[in-house]
Amino acid sequence: MKQGVSLTGLYGFVCWIRRGINAQKAAGWARENHPEEWNNLHWLAQRNPWAGVEVLITKGLISGPEVEKYRARDEYLEKGIWVGLFVSAMLLLVILALKYVLYFLG
């Protein structure tokens, strides 16, 4: 069961890394195709690819099929992160509950 906790935690971690890579690709696309909008972002948003892309999308400065693909991947990976964390937490609770029960029975 401990391997299950590790694997689900690893899955969430990998999704987190892939989400960052997805944001870097989208930020690169935004820099190339919309340089004026990208350069007008606050310097903090320019340093964080995910935040920069989200600001551009929220303000309606970028749109189209490339943005829709980015959004779909981002949402999928965000769900993967939360599922990995949730399942890991539940498995840890089960392990702790079993240890607690076995401690008082044995």
Domain ranges of the chain: 2-105
pLDDT at residue 2 in the model: 64
pLDDT at residue 50 in the model: 95
| Count of alpha carbons within 13 angstroms of residue 59, beta-carbon side | 12
pLDDT at residue 6 in the model: 81
Q: What's at 18, amino acid-wise?
A: R
Tens-of-pLDDT digits for all 106 residues of the chain?
667 678 888 999 999 999 999 999 999 999 999 999 999 999 999 999 999 999 999 999 999 999 999 999 999 999 999 999 999 999 999 999 999 999 888 7
Give which of 18, 13, 1, 12 is closest to 84, Cα–Cα. Answer: 12
